Structure 1
Amino acid sequence: MQKKILIVDDEVHIKMLLEQTLEELEDEFGVELLTASDGEEGLELIQNERPDLVFLDIMMPKMNGYEVCRIVMEDESLKDVKIILLTAKGQEVDRKQGLELGAKMYMTKPFDPDEILKVSKDLLDL
């Protein structure tokens, strides 16, 4: 079964950086990379593609990452989707809210590509 990672971020350069970082998993393990540019598109992809792991920005147009996370976590059929909130919001209150909504992890930008790779491998059991 092919693993899928979805990157949801409205900032093009962040999306590209994450894609470049995760390409190694694509080459080495055949992981499929998907991207979305806003919360609505991200939620739609989560519901249709059922990715194993989602890197989700919080501050985005149409629907923020918290809303997407909450909707996904409330949907029993999506309970296996692991969400990592990846955001510039570094306040403890933001982190707490994200984890309470069911995110597996809360990471802040700028991120360390090596850490992104390690976390992805761990959560996907690669």
Structure 2
Amino acid sequence: MARVMAVDDDHVIRGLLEVNLEMEGHEVITAVDGQDALDRVRDERPDLILLDVMMPNVNGWQVAETLKNDPETRNIPIVFLSARAMEADVRKGTDLGVQAYVTKPFDPIDLMDLVNRLIAERSA
């Protein structure tokens, strides 16, 4: 079982992620926005982070950049979940070092396959 942090300011998306991750046997930590995620990531030590891009205050870009620049958190895989599907957005995510960029609406089965594959790769 892995610890997965789901970060999204939309409670419906957070709930969907939580249900699907728990059905896959993962422990789920939710964060309501980017600042909440940054405040909790060191204590919670997630194995992977599902991160919305467009959030108030601290957005997903800022969260990813902060985590990737910190030696304690830089190796946590990040998957962006975003309604922003422009090639420039995907490229920006790649440049920040995230493992994947998934556009909303997403297929929960495909997302869980991706999560499980990334967690398996990390523990291998």
Match in the other structure for 2:17: 18
Provide structure 2 residue ranges, at least 5 long, that are not aligned to the other structure. Answer: none
- Cα distance between partner residues in 2 of 1:48 and 1:23: 20
TM-aligned CA deviation for residue 102 of structure 1? 1.1
| TM-score between the two structures when normalised by the length of structure 2 | 0.92
> Does the 8 Å CA contact 2:68/2:75 hold for their aligned counterparts?
no
8 Å CA contact 2:21–2:27 kept in 1: the answer is no
User: For 1:118, which of 106, 113, 119 is the aligned residue?
Assistant: 113
* Number of equivalent positions: 121
Q: Secondary structure at the match of 1:77?
A: coil
Give the CA deviation at 1:80: 2.3
Which one-letter code corresponds to 2:67 in the other structure?
A: V
- TM (norm. structure 1) is 0.91
Aligned-residue CA RMSD (Å) = 1.3
In 1, Cα distance between equivalents of 2:48 and 2:86: 23
Segments of 5+ residues of structure 1 without an aligned counterpart are none
Moved over 4 A (4+): none
Q: Between the two proteins, what is the percent identity of the paired residues?
A: 37
- The residue identity in structure 2 corresponding to 1:52 is D
